[in-house]
Structure 1
Amino acid sequence: MATEPHPFARFIAVLGRGKSLTRALTLAEAEEAMAMILAGGARPEQIGAFLMLLRVKEETGDEIAGFVRAVRATLSKPAIRADLDWPSYAGKRRRLPWFLLAALTLADAGWRVAMHGLEGHTAGRLYTREAIARLGLPIAADLDEAAAHLEARNFVYLPLDAFCPRLAELFALRTILGLRSPVHTLARLVNPFGAPASIQSVFHPGYMAIHRDAALRLDEARMTVFRGEGGEAERRPNKPCETLTVADGAAGETRWPPLLDDPHAIPDENLDLDRLAALWRGETQDEYATAAIIGTVAIALATLGVERDPAAAGARAKALWRARNRARLADAA
């Protein structure tokens, strides 16, 4: 006996009709589909098919924007706003997470930096949560605690499963499906503290336009996306850095010149996390790490709208790094 199709089946049909009939979801369709997934309105096999069809087709800016709207609708309004949203989901494999010291430099200078991420989804990587714990900084258990950390220290790290556990579950499907899915892009754009500026990173340059287009559709005030070291928002100082930006509703791009002469810097074999605090306190020197930190701070300053010119942003970033409170991490520990 014939039965009615499952309500979620229509979204799979849009994506899987074949080469000539398949199309992208509209923003409204994407929002409705993700809302159903988050509310438990889709079966597990449907979710797997949905995510992999999107993966093969490749997500669009409209689709990601719709997904983000659905996620944001489930979140509590934060008690405090951040100045800069900083997603961290890739993990590091070849170098230490020097971008953490860039974020702390900005926090030390007075900007509220909200970092969020998830660990363990890809083997062999060093994740931000472990690094933050080694630095002696607290990890927020929920949005309320995160707001308190942001108020007290101008910096917070909030795990994805602490503010959107359902999205964290979808993220974890990578080990089952064997591939990344649009959830990896979606999580980076959630911006749980409603910051007016966001610094985004990708591993594959082709995803930069998706981030920019989604930010435009979400009416984000300011956003920068670039190919960061290991997929994290960390500038590779020995190479030029191409960024796509959103500023006051307008799309743009900026090319940042390399900060070091050697374009073939070898991977760092010493991934001892204690080196992060040692460099912050001035107990050790590392030319590559320092350039990565200053270069990343410079991009963040441009994202915040503080310095628009790369040279001016770099000079100010260098000054902020030199003026950092070297006792900050000791106090946190």
Structure 2
Amino acid sequence: MSDRFRDLLRKIGSGPHTGENLNRTEAADAMKMMLLQEATPAQIGAFLIAHRIKRPTGEELAGMLDGCDELAPKLQPLPTPPLLLNCPYDGRSRTAPVAPLTALILATAGVPVILHGGDTMPTKEGIPLIEIWQGLGVDWTALTLEQVQSVLETTGLGFVYLSRHFPEAASLVPYRREIGKRPPLATMELMWCPYAGVATLACGYVHPPTEVLFRETFKWRGTTRFITVKGLEGSCDLPRDRTCIIGVHRVSDQSEDSDIERLLLHPSDYGFGGKEVSLESSTQLLADMQAVLEGKACELMQAAVWNGGFYLWQCGVCSDLESGLSTAKQLLIDGVADKLETLRLAVQGSSKENHAS
């Protein structure tokens, strides 16, 4: 048992009258002790549920991210700053994810993209991104982080897989099932950046207070390039059945609210309004994705163009949303399938190296 951890647990778990928030250093220490299993399982479970009940502060989340940064290996800087598409690790259960298609569109246009996550995870137990990539013929699970770096450099796409590349974090996943609720880790992972250089983070959320936490945490951390999206099931996938509520931040001074550019995009104004594509099964999702990669008109194609066009615009490939949408559609017809094949070959080649050694 860790006496130090017990003191931190007592601080946040003493109730609404005598409980206190952790400072940044204390939160970093707590995170490291959980990742290194220096705290006991009873202490870790108690901390996670107490922290959820109390609700984390931006300073606490900044400290927890600091703790992760001290222990987690990271992908190394690229000549072009990448976009990180940060989505909930417990996946999707109601609507079809389009982040892999968005990533392929951007990489085809020369914008590097990094994703991260793990296997099927509580509490939602939805389809994780790693499983979608496997269905597309891209198995990131066998690659070392050095091999992911090589694939990222050659194809513009990379995936940090928790179980292989950050096993300390993966060891905390069972607690999500045991406490029965999403812990603050589920908010923290939407802001994690497993990349050592300058990057733009796209962070999805469901509830508006979460966006406030993003902004507070990033202010503590000095993160100046991020996009917040009130997305589908908390992901950074833009919806089509309602107004898209987006915050864009790219300047160095975060002291004023005016630094956030608020975008309210109405999909119907651009011809992309419609019902969201339901997630019926992984088999159907992959069949629909294959149709998109073949350039066939379908609802998922509309979702892919809508998302790809927005991020092409925000990443500076296109000067406005309209041209972004046009470019995204053309890339899906002409080049994205080739990019996926290049990615498959690169990942398969790295996997074969592992088997040979």
Structure 1 position 97 matched with structure 2 position 106: no
* TM-score, normalisation: structure 1: 0.88
Structure 1 position 10 matched with structure 2 position 45: no
Structure 1 position 285 matched with structure 2 position 297: yes
1:172 is paired with a residue of what secondary structure?
Answer: helix
Percent identical pairs in the alignment equals: 24
Q: Which residue of 1 aligns with 2:84?
A: 85
- Gaps in structure 1 of 5+ consecutive residues: none
Q: Which residue of 2 aligns with 1:235?
A: 238
Q: 1:170-205 CA deviation, whole Å, 9 max, x = no partner?
A: 133111110110111222322112351011112333
Q: Which residue of 2 aligns with 1:109?
A: 109
Q: Which residue of 2 aligns with 1:30?
A: 27
Distance 1:115 1:265 in 2: 22
Distance 1:171 1:212, change over 3 A: farther
- Gaps in structure 2 of 5+ consecutive residues: 346-357
Distance 2:277 2:187 in 1: 28
Distance 1:74 1:274 in 2: 39
AA in 1 matched with 2:315: L
Structure 1 position 71 matched with structure 2 position 80: no
Q: Which residue of 1 aligns with 2:215?
A: 212
2:237, 2:307 within 8 Å by CA — same for their partners in 1? yes
Shift of residue 32, structure 1, vs aligned partner: 1.8
Distance 1:50 1:124 in 2: 22
5 Å-filtered alignment, 1:31-70, equals: 31-70=28-67
AA in 2 matched with 1:64: L
Identify which of 331, 335, 353 aligns with 1:324. Answer: 335
Distance 1:124 1:11, change over 3 A: closer
2:171 is paired with a residue of what secondary structure?
Answer: helix
Structure 1 position 175 matched with structure 2 position 187: no
Shift of residue 303, structure 1, vs aligned partner: 4.5
Identify which of 180, 183, 186 aligns with 1:184. Answer: 186
Distance 2:240 2:246 in 1: 14
Shift of residue 309, structure 1, vs aligned partner: 5.4
1:173 is paired with a residue of what secondary structure?
Answer: helix
Distance 1:5 1:36, change over 3 A: closer
5 Å-filtered alignment, 1:129-144, equals: 129-140=130-141, 141-144=143-146
Q: 1:248-271 CA deviation, whole Å, 9 max, x = no partner?
A: 233412222224575655735465
AA in 2 matched with 1:154: G
* TM-score, normalisation: structure 2: 0.82
Higher helix share goes to which structure? 2
AA in 1 matched with 2:24: L
2:337 is paired with a residue of what secondary structure?
Answer: coil
Distance 2:313 2:20 in 1: 36
Distance 1:217 1:100, change over 3 A: same
5 Å-filtered alignment, 1:145-184, equals: 145-184=147-186
Distance 2:11 2:28 in 1: 14
Shift of residue 17, structure 1, vs aligned partner: 2.3
Distance 1:25 1:315, change over 3 A: farther
Q: Which residue of 1 aligns with 2:205?
A: 202
Shift of residue 237, structure 1, vs aligned partner: 1.6
Distance 1:198 1:261, change over 3 A: closer
Q: 1:186-226 CA deviation, whole Å, 9 max, x = no partner?
A: 22322112351011112333312212221222112311122
Q: 1:4-30 CA deviation, whole Å, 9 max, x = no partner?
A: 981112211221222222232222221
1:245 is paired with a residue of what secondary structure?
Answer: strand
1:158 is paired with a residue of what secondary structure?
Answer: strand
Which has the higher mean CA deviation after the structures are superposed, 294-303 or 86-95? 294-303
Distance 1:15 1:124, change over 3 A: closer
